[in-house]
Structure 1
Protein backbone atom coordinates (compact mmCIF):
# COMPACT_ATOMS: atom_id res chain seq x y z
CA UNK A 1 0.00 0.00 0.00
CA UNK A 2 1.45 3.35 -0.97
CA UNK A 3 0.69 6.84 0.32
CA UNK A 4 -1.71 7.65 -2.55
CA UNK A 5 -4.03 4.82 -1.47
CA UNK A 6 -4.33 6.05 2.13
CA UNK A 7 -7.32 8.31 2.84
CA UNK A 8 -7.40 10.50 5.88
CA UNK A 9 -10.27 10.15 8.31
CA UNK A 10 -11.28 13.77 7.63
CA UNK A 11 -11.53 13.13 3.89
CA UNK A 12 -13.55 9.97 4.50
CA UNK A 13 -16.05 11.83 6.71
CA UNK A 14 -16.31 14.76 4.30
CA UNK A 15 -16.89 12.41 1.36
CA UNK A 16 -19.56 10.53 3.27
CA UNK A 17 -21.50 13.56 4.50
CA UNK A 18 -21.15 15.65 1.35
CA UNK A 19 -23.63 13.36 -0.37
CA UNK A 20 -26.34 14.12 2.21
CA UNK A 21 -28.63 16.85 1.00
CA UNK A 22 -29.05 19.66 3.47
CA UNK A 23 -32.84 19.73 2.99
CA UNK A 24 -33.20 16.01 3.70
CA UNK A 25 -30.96 16.37 6.75
CA UNK A 26 -33.07 19.26 8.08
CA UNK A 27 -36.29 17.32 7.40
CA UNK A 28 -34.97 14.30 9.33
CA UNK A 29 -33.74 16.50 12.17
CA UNK A 30 -37.18 18.13 12.44
CA UNK A 31 -38.89 14.75 12.42
CA UNK A 32 -36.65 13.42 15.18
CA UNK A 33 -37.44 16.45 17.35
CA UNK A 34 -41.18 16.04 16.63
CA UNK A 35 -40.89 12.34 17.54
CA UNK A 36 -39.30 13.24 20.88
CA UNK A 37 -41.86 15.97 21.59
CA UNK A 38 -44.84 13.69 20.89
CA UNK A 39 -43.60 10.53 22.61
CA UNK A 40 -42.40 12.28 25.77
CA UNK A 41 -45.88 13.79 26.22
CA UNK A 42 -47.39 10.33 26.83
CA UNK A 43 -48.54 10.31 30.45
CA UNK A 44 -46.53 8.23 32.85
CA UNK A 45 -44.04 6.56 30.54
CA UNK A 46 -43.31 8.94 27.66
CA UNK A 47 -39.69 9.71 28.51
CA UNK A 48 -38.92 6.01 29.06
CA UNK A 49 -40.64 5.07 25.78
CA UNK A 50 -38.50 7.62 23.98
CA UNK A 51 -35.30 6.33 25.63
CA UNK A 52 -36.05 2.69 24.77
CA UNK A 53 -36.98 3.23 21.13
CA UNK A 54 -35.55 4.44 17.85
CA UNK A 55 -36.96 5.37 14.47
CA UNK A 56 -35.95 3.01 11.69
CA UNK A 57 -37.75 4.14 8.55
CA UNK A 58 -40.95 5.55 7.10
CA UNK A 59 -42.60 4.27 3.96
CA UNK A 60 -46.12 4.55 2.54
CA UNK A 61 -47.30 6.37 5.64
CA UNK A 62 -46.03 3.63 7.98
CA UNK A 63 -43.44 4.55 10.59
CA UNK A 64 -41.24 1.64 11.72
CA UNK A 65 -40.17 1.89 15.36
CA UNK A 66 -37.63 -0.33 17.07
CA UNK A 67 -37.89 -1.03 20.81
CA UNK A 68 -35.55 -2.98 23.03
CA UNK A 69 -38.25 -5.00 24.84
CA UNK A 70 -41.70 -6.35 23.89
CA UNK A 71 -43.21 -4.43 26.82
CA UNK A 72 -42.23 -1.12 25.24
CA UNK A 73 -43.77 -2.23 21.95
CA UNK A 74 -47.02 -2.98 23.79
CA UNK A 75 -47.01 0.50 25.34
CA UNK A 76 -46.39 2.01 21.90
CA UNK A 77 -49.34 0.03 20.51
CA UNK A 78 -51.59 1.27 23.31
CA UNK A 79 -50.61 4.87 22.53
CA UNK A 80 -50.36 4.60 18.74
CA UNK A 81 -53.39 6.81 18.00
CA UNK A 82 -51.97 9.56 20.22
CA UNK A 83 -48.56 9.29 18.53
CA UNK A 84 -49.94 9.32 14.97
CA UNK A 85 -52.18 12.30 15.76
CA UNK A 86 -49.31 14.18 17.40
CA UNK A 87 -46.97 13.58 14.48
CA UNK A 88 -49.71 14.69 12.08
CA UNK A 89 -50.13 17.92 14.06
CA UNK A 90 -46.44 18.83 14.27
CA UNK A 91 -45.15 17.32 11.01
CA UNK A 92 -48.04 16.84 8.55
CA UNK A 93 -45.60 16.69 5.65
CA UNK A 94 -44.38 13.31 6.93
CA UNK A 95 -47.86 11.87 6.28
CA UNK A 96 -47.64 9.20 9.02
CA UNK A 97 -50.84 7.10 9.04
CA UNK A 98 -49.81 4.13 11.19
CA UNK A 99 -47.00 2.63 13.20
CA UNK A 100 -45.17 -0.66 12.83
CA UNK A 101 -42.81 -2.16 15.37
CA UNK A 102 -39.85 -4.44 15.56
CA UNK A 103 -37.83 -5.80 18.42
CA UNK A 104 -34.23 -4.63 18.67
CA UNK A 105 -31.96 -7.13 16.96
CA UNK A 106 -34.46 -8.09 14.27
CA UNK A 107 -33.81 -6.92 10.74
CA UNK A 108 -37.40 -6.31 9.66
CA UNK A 109 -37.78 -3.34 7.33
CA UNK A 110 -40.60 -1.66 5.47
CA UNK A 111 -38.76 -1.13 2.19
CA UNK A 112 -39.78 -4.55 0.90
CA UNK A 113 -43.44 -3.95 1.72
CA UNK A 114 -45.87 -2.69 -0.90
CA UNK A 115 -48.70 -1.16 1.13
CA UNK A 116 -51.34 -1.53 -1.59
CA UNK A 117 -50.37 -5.14 -2.23
CA UNK A 118 -50.52 -6.00 1.48
CA UNK A 119 -53.91 -4.28 1.79
CA UNK A 120 -55.35 -6.11 -1.21
CA UNK A 121 -54.13 -9.46 0.17
CA UNK A 122 -55.69 -8.70 3.55
CA UNK A 123 -58.97 -7.68 1.89
CA UNK A 124 -59.00 -10.94 -0.05
CA UNK A 125 -58.40 -12.95 3.14
CA UNK A 126 -61.23 -11.07 4.87
CA UNK A 127 -63.56 -11.57 1.87
CA UNK A 128 -62.92 -15.33 1.87
CA UNK A 129 -63.49 -15.51 5.62
CA UNK A 130 -66.72 -13.54 5.26
CA UNK A 131 -67.94 -15.85 2.48
CA UNK A 132 -67.06 -18.92 4.54
CA UNK A 133 -68.86 -17.52 7.63
CA UNK A 134 -71.89 -16.64 5.50
CA UNK A 135 -72.01 -20.18 4.11
CA UNK A 136 -71.86 -21.65 7.63
CA UNK A 137 -74.71 -19.37 8.75
CA UNK A 138 -76.87 -20.28 5.75
CA UNK A 139 -76.21 -24.00 6.26
CA UNK A 140 -77.15 -23.70 9.93
CA UNK A 141 -80.36 -21.81 9.13
CA UNK A 142 -81.33 -24.46 6.56
CA UNK A 143 -80.61 -27.23 9.06
CA UNK A 144 -82.69 -25.55 11.78
CA UNK A 145 -85.56 -24.92 9.35
CA UNK A 146 -85.52 -28.58 8.28
CA UNK A 147 -85.50 -29.79 11.87
CA UNK A 148 -88.40 -27.49 12.75
CA UNK A 149 -90.56 -28.86 9.97
CA UNK A 150 -89.85 -32.41 11.11
CA UNK A 151 -91.45 -31.77 14.49
CA UNK A 152 -95.04 -30.65 14.08
CA UNK A 153 -96.76 -29.63 17.27
CA UNK A 154 -99.96 -31.40 18.23
CA UNK A 155 -103.05 -29.25 17.53
CA UNK A 156 -104.06 -28.98 21.23
CA UNK A 157 -100.56 -27.68 22.18
CA UNK A 158 -100.62 -25.28 19.25
CA UNK A 159 -103.99 -23.89 20.40
CA UNK A 160 -102.59 -23.39 23.95
CA UNK A 161 -99.69 -21.39 22.54
CA UNK A 162 -102.10 -19.29 20.44
CA UNK A 163 -104.25 -18.64 23.52
CA UNK A 164 -101.15 -17.61 25.55
CA UNK A 165 -100.03 -15.36 22.71
CA UNK A 166 -103.36 -13.58 22.45
CA UNK A 167 -103.63 -13.16 26.25
CA UNK A 168 -100.14 -11.57 26.38
CA UNK A 169 -100.99 -9.25 23.51
CA UNK A 170 -104.33 -8.32 25.06
CA UNK A 171 -102.74 -7.52 28.43
CA UNK A 172 -100.10 -5.29 26.78
CA UNK A 173 -102.74 -3.41 24.80
CA UNK A 174 -104.77 -2.57 27.95
CA UNK A 175 -101.84 -0.90 29.72
Structure 2
Protein backbone atom coordinates (compact mmCIF):
# COMPACT_ATOMS: atom_id res chain seq x y z
CA UNK A 1 0.00 0.00 0.00
CA UNK A 2 1.25 3.44 -0.85
CA UNK A 3 1.74 6.12 1.79
CA UNK A 4 -1.17 8.18 0.43
CA UNK A 5 -3.69 5.46 1.45
CA UNK A 6 -4.23 4.12 -2.05
CA UNK A 7 -3.43 0.60 -3.14
CA UNK A 8 -2.07 -0.17 -6.57
CA UNK A 9 -4.00 -2.66 -8.74
CA UNK A 10 -1.45 -5.48 -8.48
CA UNK A 11 -1.52 -5.36 -4.64
CA UNK A 12 -5.31 -5.39 -4.71
CA UNK A 13 -5.41 -8.44 -7.02
CA UNK A 14 -2.84 -10.27 -4.87
CA UNK A 15 -4.84 -9.57 -1.70
CA UNK A 16 -8.03 -10.87 -3.31
CA UNK A 17 -6.29 -13.96 -4.70
CA UNK A 18 -4.89 -14.85 -1.25
CA UNK A 19 -8.44 -15.20 0.05
CA UNK A 20 -9.50 -17.59 -2.72
CA UNK A 21 -9.29 -21.32 -2.13
CA UNK A 22 -7.51 -22.69 -5.22
CA UNK A 23 -9.31 -26.04 -4.95
CA UNK A 24 -12.73 -24.34 -4.88
CA UNK A 25 -11.68 -22.23 -7.83
CA UNK A 26 -10.63 -25.35 -9.81
CA UNK A 27 -13.86 -27.14 -8.91
CA UNK A 28 -15.92 -24.13 -10.04
CA UNK A 29 -14.06 -24.04 -13.36
CA UNK A 30 -14.55 -27.77 -13.80
CA UNK A 31 -18.30 -27.48 -13.12
CA UNK A 32 -18.61 -24.58 -15.60
CA UNK A 33 -16.70 -26.47 -18.31
CA UNK A 34 -18.74 -29.59 -17.71
CA UNK A 35 -21.98 -27.55 -17.92
CA UNK A 36 -20.93 -26.28 -21.33
CA UNK A 37 -19.86 -29.75 -22.49
CA UNK A 38 -23.08 -31.46 -21.39
CA UNK A 39 -25.45 -28.77 -22.66
CA UNK A 40 -23.63 -28.43 -25.99
CA UNK A 41 -23.99 -32.19 -26.52
CA UNK A 42 -27.78 -31.76 -26.77
CA UNK A 43 -28.76 -32.15 -30.42
CA UNK A 44 -31.94 -30.92 -32.04
CA UNK A 45 -34.43 -33.28 -33.64
CA UNK A 46 -35.01 -30.80 -36.47
CA UNK A 47 -34.38 -31.72 -40.09
CA UNK A 48 -31.61 -29.17 -40.54
CA UNK A 49 -29.77 -30.66 -37.54
CA UNK A 50 -29.34 -27.45 -35.57
CA UNK A 51 -27.27 -27.89 -32.43
CA UNK A 52 -29.69 -26.39 -29.97
CA UNK A 53 -27.30 -27.29 -27.16
CA UNK A 54 -24.72 -24.73 -28.30
CA UNK A 55 -27.39 -22.04 -28.22
CA UNK A 56 -28.61 -23.08 -24.78
CA UNK A 57 -25.04 -23.15 -23.45
CA UNK A 58 -24.28 -19.71 -24.82
CA UNK A 59 -27.38 -18.24 -23.16
CA UNK A 60 -26.89 -19.84 -19.73
CA UNK A 61 -24.29 -20.19 -17.03
CA UNK A 62 -23.75 -21.76 -13.62
CA UNK A 63 -24.22 -19.31 -10.77
CA UNK A 64 -23.89 -21.42 -7.64
CA UNK A 65 -23.81 -24.96 -6.27
CA UNK A 66 -24.94 -25.80 -2.75
CA UNK A 67 -26.81 -28.61 -0.97
CA UNK A 68 -27.09 -30.70 -4.14
CA UNK A 69 -28.68 -27.82 -6.10
CA UNK A 70 -26.98 -26.41 -9.17
CA UNK A 71 -28.26 -22.87 -9.80
CA UNK A 72 -28.30 -21.91 -13.48
CA UNK A 73 -28.93 -18.44 -14.87
CA UNK A 74 -30.33 -17.86 -18.36
CA UNK A 75 -30.85 -14.60 -20.21
CA UNK A 76 -34.43 -15.32 -21.34
CA UNK A 77 -37.37 -17.36 -19.96
CA UNK A 78 -37.45 -19.36 -23.20
CA UNK A 79 -33.95 -20.71 -22.55
CA UNK A 80 -34.96 -21.64 -19.01
CA UNK A 81 -37.91 -23.60 -20.37
CA UNK A 82 -35.74 -25.38 -22.92
CA UNK A 83 -33.09 -26.22 -20.33
CA UNK A 84 -35.85 -27.52 -18.07
CA UNK A 85 -36.93 -29.88 -20.86
CA UNK A 86 -33.43 -31.42 -20.77
CA UNK A 87 -33.06 -31.37 -16.98
CA UNK A 88 -32.85 -35.17 -16.60
CA UNK A 89 -30.28 -35.42 -19.38
CA UNK A 90 -28.13 -32.68 -17.84
CA UNK A 91 -28.36 -34.17 -14.35
CA UNK A 92 -27.40 -37.61 -15.69
CA UNK A 93 -24.39 -36.06 -17.42
CA UNK A 94 -23.18 -34.47 -14.18
CA UNK A 95 -23.83 -37.65 -12.21
CA UNK A 96 -21.78 -39.65 -14.70
CA UNK A 97 -18.87 -37.20 -15.02
CA UNK A 98 -18.72 -35.76 -11.48
CA UNK A 99 -20.54 -38.17 -9.15
CA UNK A 100 -18.71 -36.72 -6.14
CA UNK A 101 -20.79 -33.53 -6.45
CA UNK A 102 -24.02 -35.41 -5.73
CA UNK A 103 -26.12 -32.96 -7.74
CA UNK A 104 -29.78 -33.71 -6.99
CA UNK A 105 -31.51 -31.03 -9.03
CA UNK A 106 -31.14 -27.98 -11.21
CA UNK A 107 -32.71 -24.65 -10.33
CA UNK A 108 -33.06 -21.85 -12.82
CA UNK A 109 -33.24 -18.10 -12.54
CA UNK A 110 -33.56 -15.31 -15.03
CA UNK A 111 -30.53 -13.06 -15.46
CA UNK A 112 -30.96 -9.98 -13.32
CA UNK A 113 -33.15 -11.68 -10.74
CA UNK A 114 -31.94 -12.28 -7.21
CA UNK A 115 -33.03 -15.88 -6.63
CA UNK A 116 -30.63 -17.59 -4.26
CA UNK A 117 -30.00 -21.24 -3.52
CA UNK A 118 -31.01 -20.82 0.12
CA UNK A 119 -34.51 -19.72 -0.94
CA UNK A 120 -34.73 -22.43 -3.59
CA UNK A 121 -33.46 -25.04 -1.13
CA UNK A 122 -36.15 -24.05 1.36
CA UNK A 123 -38.86 -24.49 -1.28
CA UNK A 124 -37.46 -27.90 -2.26
CA UNK A 125 -37.34 -28.95 1.40
CA UNK A 126 -40.95 -27.82 1.87
CA UNK A 127 -42.02 -29.78 -1.22
CA UNK A 128 -40.20 -32.90 -0.01
CA UNK A 129 -41.91 -32.57 3.38
CA UNK A 130 -45.31 -32.11 1.71
CA UNK A 131 -44.74 -35.24 -0.40
CA UNK A 132 -43.63 -37.21 2.67
CA UNK A 133 -46.74 -36.06 4.55
CA UNK A 134 -48.99 -37.08 1.64
CA UNK A 135 -47.37 -40.54 1.52
CA UNK A 136 -47.83 -40.93 5.27
CA UNK A 137 -51.54 -40.01 5.03
CA UNK A 138 -51.99 -42.41 2.12
CA UNK A 139 -50.36 -45.26 4.12
CA UNK A 140 -52.53 -44.46 7.14
CA UNK A 141 -55.69 -44.48 5.00
CA UNK A 142 -54.74 -47.88 3.53
CA UNK A 143 -54.08 -49.25 7.01
CA UNK A 144 -57.51 -48.03 8.18
CA UNK A 145 -59.16 -49.68 5.16
CA UNK A 146 -57.24 -52.90 5.88
CA UNK A 147 -58.60 -52.87 9.43
CA UNK A 148 -62.15 -52.56 8.17
CA UNK A 149 -62.77 -48.84 8.36
CA UNK A 150 -64.47 -47.55 5.23
CA UNK A 151 -63.21 -44.35 3.72
CA UNK A 152 -66.17 -42.07 2.96
CA UNK A 153 -66.02 -40.28 -0.33
CA UNK A 154 -66.44 -36.55 -0.05
CA UNK A 155 -69.64 -34.79 -0.99
CA UNK A 156 -68.30 -33.40 -4.28
CA UNK A 157 -67.84 -36.92 -5.64
CA UNK A 158 -71.42 -37.81 -4.66
CA UNK A 159 -72.76 -34.73 -6.44
CA UNK A 160 -71.15 -35.80 -9.71
CA UNK A 161 -73.22 -39.02 -9.84
CA UNK A 162 -76.57 -38.67 -11.63
CA UNK A 163 -79.71 -40.34 -10.33
CA UNK A 164 -80.34 -43.59 -12.28
CA UNK A 165 -83.50 -42.35 -14.06
CA UNK A 166 -81.71 -39.25 -15.41
CA UNK A 167 -78.68 -41.32 -16.40
CA UNK A 168 -81.04 -43.63 -18.40
CA UNK A 169 -82.51 -40.57 -20.21
CA UNK A 170 -79.04 -39.38 -21.19
CA UNK A 171 -78.08 -42.89 -22.33
CA UNK A 172 -81.26 -43.08 -24.46
CA UNK A 173 -80.48 -39.67 -26.01
CA UNK A 174 -76.94 -40.80 -26.77
CA UNK A 175 -78.21 -43.99 -28.44
CA UNK A 176 -80.76 -42.01 -30.51
CA UNK A 177 -78.01 -39.67 -31.74
CA UNK A 178 -75.72 -42.55 -32.63
CA UNK A 179 -78.56 -44.41 -34.44
CA UNK A 180 -79.51 -41.29 -36.43
CA UNK A 181 -75.94 -41.07 -37.76
CA UNK A 182 -76.22 -44.57 -39.25
* TM-score normalised by structure 2 residue count: 0.66
User: Looking at both structures, which has the greater relative contact order when contacts are Cα pairs under 8 Å and sequence separation is at least 6?
Assistant: 1
Return structure 1 stretches of 4+ with deviation > 2 angstroms.
Answer: 111-119, 121-128, 135-145
Output the CA distance in 1 between the equivalents of 2:132 and 2:33. 36
For structure 2, the 5+ residue unaligned runs are 44-50, 142-150, 166-182
Tell me the SS of whatever aligns to 1:3: coil
The match for 1:59 is: 66
Residue-by-residue CA offset, 1:83-138 (whole Å, 9 max, x unaligned): 0000111111111111111111111111243343442146558989xx9xxx8944
For structure 1, the 5+ residue unaligned runs are 152-175
Tell me the SS of whatever aligns to 2:128: helix
The match for 1:87 is: 94
Q: Aligned to 1:119, which of 125, 128, 134?
A: 128
Output the CA distance in 2 between the equivalents of 1:48 and 1:125. 40
Q: 1:141 to 1:45 in 2, by over 3 A?
A: closer
* TM-score normalised by structure 1 residue count: 0.69
CA RMSD of aligned residues (A): 3.1
Give the count of matched residue pairs. 143
The match for 2:22 is: 22
Greater percentage in helix: 1
